[in-house]
Amino acid sequence: MTTLNYKRADFQSDQEVKWCPGCGDYTILASVQAYMAEMGVAREDVVFVSGIGCSSRFPYYMNTYGMHSIHGRAPAIASGVVTANPDLSVWVVTGDGDALSIGGNHLIHALRRNVNLKILLFNNQIYGLTKGQYSPTSEVGKTTKSTPLGSIDHPFNPVSLALGADASFVARTIDMDRKHTMEILRRAHEHEGTALIEIYQNCNVFNDKAFLALTGKDERVHNQIRMEDGEPIIFGPEGEKAVVIESGVARIVDTASVDPSDIHVHDSREVNPSMAFALSRISSHPDGPTPIGIFRDINRPVYDQEMARQIEAVTEKRGPGDLQTLIGSQGTWTVE
Amino acid sequence: MSVSEKTVTRPANETPDQEELDKVIIRFVGDSGDGMQLAGTRFTDASAAFGNDLATFPSFPAEIRAPAGTVGGVSSFQVQIADFDILTPGDEPDVLVAMNPAGLISNLKDVRPNGTIVVNSEAFIERNLHRAGYEKNPLEDGSLDSYRIISAPMETLTKEAVKESGVTGREVLRSKNFFALGLMAWLFNRPMDPTTEWLEKKFSKRPDVLNANLAALKAGWNFGLTTDAAPTTYTVKPAKLEPGTYTNVTGNTAMAWGAIAAGQAAKLPVFYGTYPITPASDILHELSRHKNFGVKTFQAEDEIGGIGVAVGAAFTGHLSFTGTSGPGLALKSETISLALMTELPLIIINVQRGGPSTGLPTKPEQADLLFAIFGRHGEAPMPVLAAQSPSDAFDITIEAARIALKYMTPVIVLSDNSIATGSEPWNLPDVSTLPDISKPYQMGPNSGDEYLPYLRDPQTFARSWAIPGTPGLEHRIGGLEKQEVTGNVSYDPGNHQLMIDTRAWKIANIANDIPPVEIDGDPKAKLLVLGWGSTYGVIKGAVRRVQKRGLPVATAHLRHLNPFPANLGEIVHSYEKVLIPEMNMGQLRHLIRAEYLVPAIGYNKVSAEPFKVREIENRILELIES
C-alpha cells in the first residue's frame, strides 16, 4: 500500500515542461500538483486525460496515469476510464477550443450523464497551439489571424453552457489565484459526479491580458465577484457593489441603494439551477465584474456508479451469467 | 411443385398425400406492418426444432413504416429448409406467401417456374392493386396461370377465428400473419408446438392476443386441411447434420455472444461502447441484456464517443469492443488511429451495409474492405478479419479478441447485413473448451526498477498492459509519436521510421499466427474461386454444383484479410485462374493483384442483393470452358 505522504514533487513527471515562458498553464500545473499531494488519493489511482491543444499536454507533466488523446474527445475517453473503474480519480484537461468547439458534444453529454469526471477547462479565449485563431469563447469583433476584420462569431459562456447541460458541479477560477484554484479543486474532488471548472488562463503570446480586469492589481478588486455559500454577494473595494436577482435576472447594484435583505445570498447547493444561471449571465466576458467561485454543487445519480449498481443488482437477482446456458437460451435441438 | 430432386410420384387419390422433398425455399412478403419477419422466424424455428438444416435471408425497408400497400414498404423473409447441409437461403423461392399486391409484384420475378403462390385474396382490391402498380387483378387476369395459386380470404377468416379471443379494433387483423403461418405449417407438415410455446411465453401477459394468435394459427392450418388447398402436402425430413446440440442463431446475436465468450476466454470484463446504427444495433441490444456476465454497455452520444469510451475502457483493462456500420466506421477512423498509436487492445465490429453515405442501411454489401484495411491517416496497419456466416460471427469475435490482446492492437471485424440478420443452425460449442486468450496485466517494473510502457515482447512485438490502479507503473500514453521503449514523446526522425517499421512488422507477423488457407476441392483444378465474408455459402454451393457435374474447381475462403494467411501467395499462384466473387467492385481482387501479382478475375455484384448460387455457378462454368 502506498503511503499517502505526498509532496508536490511526487506528482511531477520527468518530462520537461514545454509551454511558452509566462504561460498561465504553469501556474495551473503547480496548483494541480500541489492539490494532488493533499488530495488523499493514491497516485496510481489518478488518471489525467486530455484532448489536443496547449493545455492538453498536461498529462505528460503529471506523474500519474494519463492519456493525451484526440482533439475534443477527452470527456468520452475519460468516461470510458471511470465507467470501467469507478474507483479511479479521473481528471480531464481541456481548453476552450478542445472542449467547446470540436468536443462540444462530448462535453455536454458527460455533464448530462454526470460521470465522475473532474473537467478542467483552461479558457484563454484563443487558439494557442495553432498559433492565434479566435476560439468559441473569443469576443465578437476580436481581430485574429483568421478574423482580420474582426470576429463575427457569438461566443459561448462556458458556465451557462454547463448549467444548461444540467451539470451537477460548475465553478470558475483564475490561473493566477493558486489558493482559490486549489480550493475549487478540492470541492470538485469531493463532489460526486461531473465537475466542470472553468479556469481563466492567460495566453501571454496570442491573447495577453485577456483577463486583466480580473487579475490586474488595481482592477481585480473592482471586478472579481466572489461567491461564497451563505453570504450575500457583495464586491468592490468597500463592498459598495452588490448582486440582486429579480425575475430570474441578476443585476449589479450599489449596495447602498438596496435593502440588505434584497441582496442575493449565494447557495451553490440549490437544486434549481435558475439562480446559478442568472449569476452566470452577469458577465459573458471577463472585461468587467465577473462571478468567481462555485455556481452549482448538487447531488444526483452518478453514471458510473449507477452502471456498477445495475450490474450488481442483476447479478444478484439472476446469478452470474453462464455462457453455456446463454448460447442455448434460444431453443435447441439435438442431432444424434 | 417440382421442388425436389427426390420427388416421388403422388398416388392418385383424393386425400392430400405427403410428398417428401429434400429442400424447399419459402419467401414470406407483405407490408412492413404485416408481421412477415415474425411469420418467417416462427416458421424457421419450427423447422429448426424439427431438425432441418436451414438458412434465412430477411430483407426490409429502411423506413419503419413506408406507406401501406406500396412496393417501397414491402418486407420479406426467405428461408430454405433442407434434409441435408445447405449453405444459403436459396436462389428462387418455391413458395411465395404474398400478403398484398405490392409484395407479389415486387417478388414474383424471383419465384421459380411453376412455383406456388399463397395470397391473401382480400388484399387484392382496387386501391392496393393501384398502389402496387397493377392495372388488372393478377388473380383474375390469367397472368399467374403457370403457378399454383393458393388463395385464402385471410382477413375474413382471421376475424372469424379471433372472435372469442377478446382482441378488438386494429388488433384483430394483426393475427393474420399467424393465419398465413398456420397455412404454411399445414402445407409443410411443420410441428406446431414450437410456435405455440413461443406464443405462450411471448404473450403470457396478454391472454387476448395469445388466444387470437393461437386461433388464427389453427384457422390457417384448418383452412388448408378442409379446403384441400393443395393436392399434396410436403415434408422435409430432418437433416443429417453433425451430432451435437444446435440452435438457430443470427450473426448479430452470435457476435454479441462471441464478445461475452471472448471475455471469459480472456478472463476480462467486457465493455461495449457504441452508438445505435442499422444493422449493428442488435449487438448492443443483446449485450445489454446480459449484464450479469459483468458486461458494461455504454450507449454514447455519437459514434466517436462510442469508440472513445471503448478506448478509455481498454486503457483501464477491459476487453473492449465498439460496434458500428459503414458511416460510423468513417467517424471512428481517428480514434482507431489513437488505439493503434497507443497500442491498446480494441475490437471494432463493422456490420457492412450498402454505401456510400447513408446508402442502403438495410441491405448487404462488402464494400468496406479497403476502408477497413487502409481507412486511416498515416501508415496505420491493423488486423482485419471477416465472419463468413452467422455462426462464424461467434468464432471470429473470439479470434479478433485473441489477436487484439496478444499483439496489443485494435482489430476490425467485418460482418454484413446478411450475416447480421440472417440465421443458420449452429452446432453449439462446449464453452469449457474455449481457448485461453488471456493477456496478463503488467504488475511490476519490466526493466530493473523502471516501467517502460513501450518495451516489447521479443516474439510478438506487443507492449505490456499496465492499467490505472497499479502502483508504481504510472505512465502516460497518447497520440503523439512515441519514443521506442520509453513511450515518451519523440520527434526524432530515426525514431519515427523505427516505430513505423515496428508497427508494420508487428501486424505483418500475425500471418504466422493464423491458420493457413485451406483448399476445398480439386487442388489440380485450373480454377480457384476465392472469397471472403458472407459469400461463403453461395460460393461453396456453386462450387459443389460444378463439382457434381464432374468438373474440376477448387475454392478457398478468407477469414483473415489483413494480414493474409502465410500460404495465400503460394495458393493463388498455383492455379491458372483465380475468380473472386464479391459484393463490391473488386476490393479483394485489388488486394490479391497488388500483393501477389496474379491476374485475379472479379465477379462483382453491388445490387443490394446477395449473389445467387446459380450466378456464381454460371460464371465458374464460363471460366472453365473458356
> How does pLDDT run across A42-78, given as a tens digit for each residue?
999 999 999 999 999 999 999 999 999 999 999 999 9
Beta-ladder partners of B96: B27, B117
Tell me which amino acid residue A75 is.
P
> B293: which chain A residues are within 8 Å (Cβ-Cβ)?
320-321, 323, 326
Cβ of B35: how many Cβ atoms within 10 Å? Answer: 23
Beta-ladder partners of B450: B447
Nearest to A311 among B243, B291, B300 (CB): B291
d(CA B352, CA B255): 14
Chain A stretch 251-280, residues whose beta carbon is closer than 8 A to a beta carbon of chain B: none
Tell me which amino acid residue B359 is.
G
Q: B182 with B43: CB under 8 angstroms?
A: no
> A323: which chain B residues are within 8 Å (Cβ-Cβ)?
257, 260-261, 264, 293, 431
> B480: which chain A residues are within 8 Å (Cβ-Cβ)?
68
Rounded to a whole number of angstroms, the distance from the CA of A288 to the nearest CA of chain B is 36
A85 and B49 in contact by Cβ < 8 A?
no
Please check whether the two domains, B4-236 and B520-625, share a CATH topology. Answer: no
Looking at residue B6, what is its pLDDT? 36
A54 in contact with B at a CB cutoff of 8 Å? Answer: no
d(CA B481, CA B460): 20
- Return the sign of the alpha-carbon dihedral for residues B415, B418, B423, B424: negative
pLDDT at B230 over 90: no
d(CA B18, CA B486): 75
Tell me which amino acid residue A269 is.
R
d(CA B129, CA B123): 8
d(CA A312, CA A9): 39
B245 and A332 in contact by Cβ < 8 A?
yes
% residues pLDDT > 90 (chain A): 96
Q: What is the CA radius of gyration of chain B?
A: 27
Could you tell me the three cell numbers for B51? 431438425
CATH topology for the B247-433 domain: Rossmann fold (3.40.50)
Q: B80 with B48: CB under 8 angstroms?
A: no
d(CA A77, CA A62): 18
From residue A50, alpha-carbon distances to A59, A62, A67, A72, B302 in Å are: 7, 12, 6, 8, 19
> A47: which chain B residues are within 8 Å (Cβ-Cβ)?
468
Rounded to a whole number of angstroms, the distance from the CA of A215 to the nearest CA of chain B is 33
Comparing B170 with B310, the larger pLDDT belongs to B310
Question: What is the per-residue pLDDT across A149-182, written as a single tens digit (0 to 9) for each?
Answer: 999 999 999 999 999 999 999 999 999 999 999 9
Looking at residue B63, what is its pLDDT? 82
d(CA B48, CA B195): 11
pLDDT at B533 over 90: yes
Tell me which amino acid residue B109 is.
K
Rounded to a whole number of angstroms, the distance from the CA of A165 to the nearest CA of chain B is 13
pLDDT at B285 over 80: yes
Could you tell me the three cell numbers for B11? 398416388
- CATH code: domain B520-625 is 3.40.50.920
Rounded-to-5 percentages of helix, strand, coil across chain A:
35, 20, 40
d(CA B81, CA B72): 28
Looking at residue A336, what is its pLDDT? 83
From residue B597, alpha-carbon distances to B73, B546, B591 in Å are: 46, 27, 9
Q: Which residues does B228 contact at the CB level (< 8 Å), separation at least 6?
A: B14, B16
Question: What is the per-residue pLDDT across A244-274, written as a single tens digit (0 to 9) for each?
Answer: 999 999 999 999 999 999 999 999 999 999 9
Candidates B267, B316, B431, B490, partner chain A, best to mutate (most A CBs within 10 A): B316
Q: Which residues does A316 contact at the CB level (< 8 Å), separation at least 6?
A: none
d(CA B415, CA B386): 6
Please name the CATH architecture into which domain B4-236 falls: 3-Layer(aba) Sandwich (3.40)
A63 in contact with B at a CB cutoff of 8 Å? Answer: yes
Q: Is B243 exposed, middle or buried (0-12, 13-18, 19+ CB in 10 A)?
A: exposed
Question: What is the per-residue pLDDT across B107-116, written as a single tens digit (0 to 9) for each?
Answer: 999 999 999 9
Rounded to a whole number of angstroms, the distance from the CA of B311 to the nearest CA of chain A is 6
Q: A121 with A92: CB under 8 angstroms?
A: no
- Give the phi and the psi of residue B589 in degrees, each rounded to 5: -55, -45
Could you tell me the three cell numbers for A28? 495551473
Question: What is the per-residue pLDDT across B388-433, written as a single tens digit (0 to 9) for each?
Answer: 999 999 999 999 999 999 999 999 999 999 999 999 999 999 999 9
Cβ of B552: how many Cβ atoms within 10 Å? Answer: 14
pLDDT at B17 over 90: no
Looking at residue B422, what is its pLDDT? 95
d(CA A72, CA A94): 8
Rounded to a whole number of angstroms, the distance from the CA of A307 to the nearest CA of chain B is 8
Rounded to a whole number of angstroms, the distance from the CA of B140 to the nearest CA of chain A is 43
Cα dihedral value A203, A204, A210, A216, nearest 10: 120
Sheet with B560-562: strands ordered across: B296-299, B270-274, B319-324, B346-352, B410-416, B384-386, B560-562
Tell me which amino acid residue B512 is.
N
When the pLDDT of each residue in chain B is averaged and rounded to a whole number, the result is 94
Cα B158 → chain centroid = 34
Nearest to B45 among A68, A320, A331 (CB): A331
d(CA B161, CA B10): 32
Nearest to B311 among A60, A80, A336 (CB): A80
Looking at residue A195, what is its pLDDT? 98
**How many A-B residue pairs are in contact by the CB < 8 A criterion?**
216
What is the rounded average pLDDT of the residues B233-250?
93
Nearest to A66 among B239, B304, B476 (CB): B476
Looking at residue B104, what is its pLDDT? 97
Count of residues in chain B: 626
In SS3 terms, B317-354 reads as CCEEEEEECHHHHHHHHHHHHHHHHCCCCEEEEEEECE
Nearest to B471 among A44, A314, A328 (CB): A44
Nearest to A109 among B305, B475, B488 (CB): B305
Q: B129 with B157: CB under 8 angstroms?
A: no
- Domain chopping of chain B, boundaries: 4-236, 247-433, 440-513, 520-625
A109 and B311 in contact by Cβ < 8 A?
no
What is the rounded average pLDDT of the residues B49-74?
88
A69 in contact with B at a CB cutoff of 8 Å? Answer: yes
Cα dihedral value A240, A243, A244, A249, nearest 10: 140
Candidates B304, B474, B483, partner chain A, best to mutate (most A CBs within 10 A): B474
Reported ipTM: the value is 0.97
DSSP B443: -
Rounded to a whole number of angstroms, the distance from the CA of B383 to the nearest CA of chain A is 22
